[in-house]
């Protein structure tokens, strides 16, 4: 089992891990030939992340080998990984590889910088990991959801987050809804208070295999989410270029956060939340 690569886009990768860390203190990293996947299974708050980034945009001299279809799965502490990436922000070269110390598996970072005198300086940061056996990794499955009732492009997430933060002060749950008229709405309903905010002209993505167009485009489909969980997802505004929301009425919401060029994204974070 071998893995070795040089990081290219450290800044974007750092923001991705920062977003994932907001959701979970640990994640599964799955190394494949063309993609690297970051997976957080649903905790008590019902939020899960199934994301992937393209190797060609984030790494060079990428090499992964194993007896399991050249795939390696391991769990890692997201806070420690985030610290390592932040320490490499201004490095001239960052090499990442799998290693061992006293038989303990590690994800090792060799971070090179230049001194004021032009001398190359290198520090090594090692992070303990837990390598998963193929059988263990095979049991981790993406959650199944019914076909969404509606798909819609979201406004910029930092704008949605501003509204959600204010709604959280009123209620512990937030209702999100959308219709076929390009409208996305967030609302809270309490015995003495009701607040609603609607964005218009959001647009709808073209989804392969999606069902027929709604008979009544004004019909709203909604789902009630924990405000705390929704705000965790909205922290992904630091990486988004465009976001699609899919609502399964009274069941769950799935968000696709595209990273990089929206026409040819370098990655996508898929965030699922259930009622």
Identify whether residues 7 and 124 lie together within a single domain: yes
Identify whether residues 131 and 6 lie together within a single domain: yes
Q: Pick the closest to residue 257 from 272, 270, 273, 274 (CA basis).
A: 270
Domain that holds residue 129: 2-138
Identify whether residues 35 and 89 lie together within a single domain: yes
Can you tell me the distance from the alpha carbon of 78 to that of 43, in angstroms, rounded to the nearest whole number? 15
Can you tell me the distance from the alpha carbon of 118 to that of 218, in angstroms, rounded to the nearest whole number? 64
Identify whether residues 20 and 116 lie together within a single domain: yes
Identify whether residues 133 and 8 lie together within a single domain: yes
Asked if the structure places residue 143 within a domain, the reply is no
What pLDDT, on the 0 to 100 scale, is given for residue 216? 86
What lies within 8 Å, CB to CB, of 270 at 6+ separation is 49, 50, 51, 254, 255, 256, 257
Please list the rounded mean pLDDT of every run of 10 residues in the chain (275 residues).
96 95 94 96 79 96 94 97 94 96 95 90 95 92 84 96 96 96 96 94 78 74 95 94 94 94 89 91
Task: Indicate the angle between helix axes 10-23 and 78-87, nearest 10 degrees.
Answer: 160
Identify whether residues 164 and 122 lie together within a single domain: no
Task: Render pLDDT for 158-188 as a digit per residue (tens, 0 to 9).
Answer: 999 999 999 999 999 999 999 999 999 999 9
Asked if the structure places residue 144 within a domain, the reply is no
Alpha helix (H) ranges present in the chain?
A: 10-23, 55-58, 78-87, 134-138, 157-168, 227-234
Helix, coil or strand: residue 15: helix
First to last CA, the chain: 40
Query: What CATH number should be reported for the domain holding residue 99?
Result: 3.70.10.10
Query: Which residue bears the tokens 């009425």?
Result: 249
CB 61 within 8 A of CB 111: no
Alpha helix (H) ranges present in 26-151?
A: 55-58, 78-87, 134-138
CB 71 within 8 A of CB 30: yes
Asked if the structure places residue 269 within a domain, the reply is yes
What pLDDT, on the 0 to 100 scale, is given for residue 144? 78
What pLDDT, on the 0 to 100 scale, is given for residue 237? 94
Query: In angstroms, how far is CA 272 from the centroid of its own chain?
Result: 10
What pLDDT, on the 0 to 100 scale, is given for residue 145? 79
What pLDDT, on the 0 to 100 scale, is given for residue 115? 86
What is the value of pTM for the model shown? Answer: 0.92
**Domain final residue pick, 138, 162, 184:** 138
What pLDDT, on the 0 to 100 scale, is given for residue 152? 96
- Counting the structural domains of the chain, the total is 2
């Amino acid at each position: 089992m071998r893995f070795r690569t040089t990081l290219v886009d450290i800044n974007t990768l750092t923001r991705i891990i920062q977003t994932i860390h907001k959701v979970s203190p640990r994640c599964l990293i799955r190394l494949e030939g063309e993609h690297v996947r970051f997976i957080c299974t649903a905790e008590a708050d019902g939020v899960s992340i199934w994301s992937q980034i393209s190797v060609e945009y984030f790494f060079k001299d990428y090499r992964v080998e194993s007896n399991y279809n050249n795939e390696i799965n391991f769990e890692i502490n997201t806070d420690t990984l985030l610290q390592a990436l932040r320490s490499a922000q201004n490095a001239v070269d960052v090499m990442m590889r799998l290693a061992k110390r006293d038989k303990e598996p590690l994800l090792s970072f060799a971070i090179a910088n230049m001194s004021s005198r032009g001398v190359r300086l290198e520090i090594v940061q090692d992070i303990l990991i837990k390598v998963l056996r193929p059988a263990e990794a095979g049991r981790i499955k993406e959650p199944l959801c019914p076909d969404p009732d509606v798909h819609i492009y979201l406004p910029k997430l930092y704008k949605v987050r501003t509204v959600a933060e204010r709604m959280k002060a009123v209620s512990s749950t937030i209702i999100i809804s959308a219709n076929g008229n390009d409208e996305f709405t967030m609302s809270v309903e309490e015995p003495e208070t009701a607040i609603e905010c609607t964005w218009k002209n959001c647009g709808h993505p073209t989804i392969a295999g999606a069902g027929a167009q709604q008979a009544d485009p004004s019909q709203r489909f909604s789902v009630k989410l924990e405000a705390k969980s929704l705000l965790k997802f909205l922290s992904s505004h630091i990486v988004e270029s465009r976001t699609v929301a899919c609502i399964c009425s009274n069941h769950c919401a799935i968000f696709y956060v595209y990273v990089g060029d929206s026409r040819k994204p370098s990655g996508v974070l898929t965030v699922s939340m259930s009622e």
